[in-house]
Amino acid sequence: MAAPVISVRDLRVWYGTERGPVRAVDGVSFDVRAGETLGLVGESGCGKSTLGRGILGLLPTGSAVDGSVRFRDRELVGVKQSDMRETRGAELGLIFQEPMTRLDPLMRISEHFAETLRAHEPELSSAEIDARSIDTLRRMGIPPTRFRHYPHEFSGGMRQRIMIALALVLNPAFVVADEPTTALDVLVEAQILSILADLKRNFDTSLLLITHNLGIVAEACERVAVMYAGRIVEEGDARQVFSDPSHPYTRELLRSTISLSTTALHYIPGSPPDLVDPPSGCHFHPRCPSAMQVCSRLDPVEVRAASGQRVSCWLHGPDELIPPGGTAPLQRQELASADEA
Amino acid sequence: MASSGGSLRRYALTRLALVIPMVLILLTVVFLLMRVAPGDPIQAALGGKLSPAQLEEKRRAAGFTKPLIVQYVDYLKQVFSLNLGTAITDNQPITTVLKVNGAATLELSVAASIIALVIGVPIGLRAGRLRDSAFDAGGRLFGIITYAAPVFFVGLLFQLVFSKWLNWLPNSGMLSPIDQAELPTHTHLSVVDAIWDHNMSAFIDSLKHLAMPSFTLGLLLCGVVIRLIRTNLIQTLKGDYVEAARARGVPEHKVVMRHAFRNALVPVVTVMGLQAALLLSGAVLTEETFNWPGIGNQLVTYLNNRDYTAVQGIITIFALAVVFISLLIDFVNAAIDPRVRY
Amino acid sequence: MTAASIAEPGGESILDTPPPTNSRPRGPFGRLWQQVKQAQGFSKWLLWVGAAITAVFIVLAVFAPLIAPYGFDQYMSHGVRFAKQGSPNGTHWFGTNVRSVDVLSVVIYGSRTAIEVVVLAVVFSLFIGVPLGLISGYYGGWLDRILVLIMDALFAFPYLLLAIIIAFLLQNSVGSGVLTAAIAITVIYVPQYFRVVRGQVLSAREEPYVEAARALGARPRTIMGRYLFFNVIQSVPVIATLNAADAILTLAGLGFLGFGIQPTQAAEWGYELQRGVADMGAGLWWTSVFPGLAIVSLVTGLTLVGEGLNDVLNPVLRKRSGRRVVLPRRDAAATTLPTRQGDNRGRGEELA
């Protein structure tokens, strides 16, 4: 198996608010290998966007990061901002959710490319810059005639393709795509997804695809990580996880998706927890249909499930760590009150 | 898709068409202000100096005996034929006042604006970037105090320090009498005239005279520049495209200057255009403080002589200047922001 | 245009984002007070220093006859005429001016004049500007268009010139006292209230609760008076404070140019500065420096209050919540995949 391009270990990203620190990312670990796509799914507000930005070191002032992010044997956590800047763009790319506002309205598309290329390869000539930019744009289906146009002259789908071209023009080894299709309509979504699928073929790029859309993961990702309240609760082969989910949250999430065969809508009762003051033990226990006594008291321990994926759930043990009587079902009134709130 | 040059021209034409109602409204306001005033302008200006028959003659000549609506139409006709009337008290055509005194006001305003930008832009930029730092707090306080100090008070303090105590700079006026007599007037802008004439001593003299008035007025404007740039930079620094540029590894100084600052300029320029009112008001006070022979100074003289015709002419000039500046600002914005042009 | 929707000479772009209008606070200024109490850091400092300075001047204004050693136009005491342009000394702390009047008394009485004029002007412009803005914004149509044109024209016009002309024209009929000055200043500020209130009404008009009221058949007067007014009025304190500061400067400007309040009517700082121009040339600084400092202090005080309020009320400018976070130390946990140890923070201990 190829060595991981990026490997995240026990990463924590907390940021400050009036009410106290928000534990947006709270001890997350995963690897992404060369040419591989890892899907990161979860409800909005579970910390998945913060995780993506945390890897690139793009966080609001005042936030605190620890743990480890290794990119090709280089540690990225705690690196000076100026060194991080050189890595961003050239080796780590980021594709955003809302393409409409991500391009500077006062700059031509050509200027965006020139600026990006010059920031990392100052020795390039203008002709080389134009050639490389136009070539990347063409691969995204943007004709060279539009090269010197302004952002407002493009549609949302085209702008997203331009953003992807901007992220790829420097050929980064690892790209975070943060809900790249959420703001776009379905036809454009399919187009963008096929572009992303081509990435690893043409550029051999590793991709962290953040989304709340499980269909996209099934279509585009080899592996999937499910995030809940700042933690990854389950991670493994995408097909395996979807066909045989180990964590109750993953199961509920899959049941909530709408498909053609859906006859009644399913939803997970309660609402995502407050990350300033998350529930004790397993963060999911107030909403979990299979919650046990131990779940509200102890943080779950990650184990490898029989089917091969990593999962953090007491249902999967390790049994020797569960205190006596811990497996008794949790009192249901807690769930009821959480539901009301 | 149309080339940007063509659309800029189209934009300019539409924008020019929109100016006409604005001009009409302003002229109507000026006219109403001057005519609803109680009292007889001719009587006020010349009463006691002329016989009743002569006064009546003057009244008829000035058109004050006609019905109000006719006077209004006459006034509009006059303005559109670029005739602003003639002062009652000293028989000077107001267009001459515009040429001579207007040049002095222009020189003062341009110099003050340059000073305001040179001081204000860097402070505003730094304050916006280092938000809530000691520098930001200091910059804001500086802005508040320069705004809170009346121009004439700052001017008086400058006069006391640099003219009376240190004796570095002339107290008032635009040129020393000797240079005034020698320097031929090409443009009525003393600095430009001195350069035109290759007259070094007159050039230095004119700069010395310009220093205190332009600094006084410049400080007033600079407070506005600082707060505008700071506020708008804080907003654009939160922009999505700023984060996107950072994510591409664009160096921070380029992120600030090219993305945040340039986008902040659009609202800044717009609001600065509205501050033309502040500039012109400040200019009147500065001119009065330093006895600068500008148009505001002249206006105060005519007001004190109760010369309604001259006052109306000068107010009309100010109204047209406001329209001109707002037009200019829109063109500047169109040049910065491609979206405006469509 | 994204930012900086209004720009009065004194203010920065305030109220780009109208305050949230979904909750009805206790009283129209209930939420304002709540937010003022929550002010922090520099904004809090701005607010309280500004309020303290302003309070000093209000005390001076109200108790001027008790505080000032002499009257505002008194040039002799006990049959002895004061020195003309006497320098500061034990009896006349701030010296005397060219009219032999005690400068300290002029400065103290000047605050009374300034505050009288400003209160009148702000009240007048509120009473004219706010209803006009409400009606114009709510009804729209040709009335709105005409009002907007006129107000924009007045707004764009150099405000001091406008005030001069009004004061000049009123001199004959009303005289040159506090009322004339207040009216002249009112004309300048009406367009500002009009613009802000109209803008707020335009956005509030589309709010669901207003639409609901309309759908229920509430009369326009009820909607404007009960629903729109209380929401729109939230933005007024900031503008009113900043305008008050600006009004002091305009009043002084009028006085300096000779179109303000005459010295026989009341003491006025701007007029004193005009008389001080000649003194300054002769090096007699005290006749103008003290009134000048009074202007600077009061305007600074009011501006600080306005800026502080603006910081507190405008969510865009409010300090980000970016508090520094210090991560709690965790036990040296082995961080190797795939068999990561139990995450022993906190409650993990109970287990062992």
What's the rounded mean pLDDT across residues B37-61?
71
Q: Is the pLDDT of residue C17 over 60?
A: no
Question: Does the bond joining C338 to the residue before it have cis omega, within 30 degrees of 0?
Answer: yes
Cα gap A316→A304, rounded to integer Å: 8
Give me the pLDDT at residue B286, please.
92
User: CA angle, C283 as apex, C279 and C289 as ends, to 5°?
Assistant: 70
Averaged pLDDT score across all residues of chain B: 82
Substitution target from B238, B263, B281, B300 for chain C, most C beta carbons within 10 A: B281
Mean pLDDT of A17-39: 86
Min mean pLDDT across A55-64, A128-137, A258-267, B322-331 is at: A258-267
Range with the poorest average pLDDT among A68-82, B66-80, C324-338: C324-338
DSSP string, C257-284: HT-S--TTT---HHHHHHHHHHHHHTT-
Q: Give the contacts of B328 (CB within 8 A, at least 6 positions apart).
A: B273
Q: What are phi and psi of A102, to 5 degrees?
A: -90, -10
Q: Name the pLDDT band for C9 (thresholds 50, 70, 90).
A: very low
Mean pLDDT confidence for B58-66: 74
| Residues of chain C positioned with their CB less than 8 A from the CB of A62 | 320, 322-325
> Are the C-beta atoms of C201 and C134 separated by less than 8 Å?
yes
Nearest to A119 among B1, B244, B248 (CB): B248
Q: Which positions in chain C touch A14 (Cβ < 8 Å)?
A: 325, 327
- Are B246 and A90 within 8 A, CB to CB? no
Q: Give the pairing of strands A4-17 and A20-33.
A: antiparallel
Nearest CA-CA partner of A94 in A215, A179, A190: A179
A95-99, A269-273, B112-116, B224-228: least confident range: A269-273
User: Does B220 contact chain A (CB < 8 Å)?
Assistant: no
Query: C292 with B156: CB under 8 angstroms?
Result: yes
Question: A1 pLDDT band (50/70/90 cuts)?
Answer: low
Number of Cβ pairs < 8 A linking chain A and chain C:
78
Would you state the pLDDT for residue B114? 92
Is pLDDT of B115 > 90? yes
* Closest approach of A206 to chain B, Cα-based (Å): 17
Quick one: which of C289, C284, C263, C269 has its CA closest to C75? C263
Residue C128 confidence (pLDDT) = 92
For C215-268, what is each residue's pLDDT tens digit?
777 777 777 777 777 777 777 888 888 889 889 999 999 989 888 888 777 788
Mean pLDDT, chain C, rounded, equals 75
Pairing of the two strands A310-312 and C76-77? unpaired
CA–CA gap between residue A50 and residue A14 (Å, rounded): 9
- Tell me which residue in A58, A98, A105 faces B247 most closely, judged by beta carbons: A58
Distance (Å, rounded) from C-alpha B266 to C-alpha C185?
Answer: 30
ipTM for this model: 0.84
Lowest model confidence (mean pLDDT) among B101-110, B289-298, C9-18, C66-75: C9-18
Distance of CA B139 to the CA centre of its chain: 25
Query: Given an 8 Å threshold on Cβ–Cβ distance, is A119 in contact with B336?
Result: no
Which residue, B315, B301, B225, B108, is CA-closest to C158?
B315
Query: Is the CB of A106 less than 8 angstroms away from the CB of B1?
Result: no
Write down the pLDDT at residue B2. Answer: 40
Residue C19: pLDDT over 50:
no
Residues C174-212: tens digit of each pLDDT: 777 888 889 989 988 898 889 888 888 887 777 777 778
* Per-residue model confidence as pLDDT tens digits over A228-254: 888 888 999 888 888 888 888 888 888
With an 8 Å Cβ cutoff, is B138 touching chain A?
A: no
Smallest Cβ–Cβ distance between C157 and the set B21, B235, B319 belongs to: B319
B239 interfaces chain A, CB cutoff of 8 Å:
yes
pLDDT at res. B112:
92
Residue B82 Rama label (left phi>0; alpha psi -120 to 50; beta): left
Q: What is the pLDDT of residue C120?
A: 92
Q: Do B247 and A88 touch (CB under 8 A)?
A: yes
**Nearest CA distance, A278 vs chain B (angstrom):** 28
Would the pLDDT of B201 be above 80? no
Choose from C5, C54, C169 for mutation: most chain B CBs within 10 A: C169
* pLDDT above 90 as % of chain A: 13
Chain C neighbors of A280, CB-CB under 8 A: 347
Spell out where A110-204 has E strands.
174-178
Q: Is the pLDDT of residue C137 over 50?
A: yes
Chain C residue with Cα closest to A326: C351
> In terms of CA atoms, which chain B residue is nearest residue A82?
B251
- What's the mean pLDDT in C20-25? 44
Shortest Cα distance from A214 to chain B (angstroms)? 26
Band (pLDDT 50/70/90 cuts) for residue A335 is very low
SS3 A68: strand
Cβ-based neighbours of A260, under 8 Å, separated by 6 or more: none
* A242 or B276, which is more confident: A242
- In this structure, what DSSP letter does residue B162 have? I
Higher pLDDT, B342 or B180: B180
3-state secondary structure of A66: strand
- Provide the pLDDT confidence category of residue A113 given band limits of 50, 70 and 90: very high
The model's pTM is 0.79
Q: What is the pLDDT of residue B4?
A: 47
Would you call A178 helix, strand, or coil by DSSP? strand
* Torsion C180-C181-C187-C193 (CA) sign: negative
Do the beta carbons of residue A60 and residue A15 sit within 8 Å? Answer: yes
Residue C22 has pLDDT above 80, yes or no: no
Specify the pLDDT at position B3.
44
Residues of B in contact with C277 (CB under 8 A): 152, 156, 289
Question: Pick from A81, A115, A150: which is nearest to B250 by CB?
Answer: A115
Rounded to whole angstroms, the Cα distance separating C253 from B157 reads 16
Which pLDDT band holds residue B98 (cuts at 50, 70, 90)? confident
Lowest mean pLDDT among A178-192, C85-99, C141-155, C179-193: C85-99
**Chains with 3 or more CB pairs under 8 A to chain A:** B, C
B321: nearest Cα among B83, B67, B78, B22: B22
The percentage of chain A sitting over the pLDDT mark of 70, rounded to a whole number, equals: 94
C219 phi and psi angles, rounded to 5 deg: -75, 150
Is C125 in a helix, a strand, or coil?
A: helix
Mean pLDDT score, A27-32: 89
**Per-window interface: C 310-329 vs B, CB < 8 A:** 316-317, 319
Q: Is C206 exposed, middle or buried (0-12, 13-18, 19+ CB in 10 A)?
A: exposed
User: Taking CA atoms, what residue in B is nearest to A52?
Assistant: B247
Q: Which of B5-9, B219-223, C233-237 has the highest mean pLDDT?
A: B219-223
Has residue A4 got a pLDDT over 90? no
Q: Is the minimum CB–CB distance between C146 and chain B shorter than 8 Å?
A: no
CB contact at 8 A, B228 and C13? yes
Report pLDDT for A194: 84
For the segment A67-92, the average pLDDT, to the nearest whole number, is 86
Cα–Cα distance for residue pair A169/A115, rounded to 1 Å: 12
Confidence of residue B313 (pLDDT cuts 50, 70, 90): confident
Q: What is the pLDDT of residue A83?
A: 85
Instruction: For residue C327, give the nearest of A66, A297, A300 by CB distance.
Output: A66
Could you tell me the end-to-end alpha-carbon distance of chain B, in angstroms, rounded to an integer? 11
Q: Hey, which residues 228-287 in chain A have their CB within 8 Å of chain B?
A: none
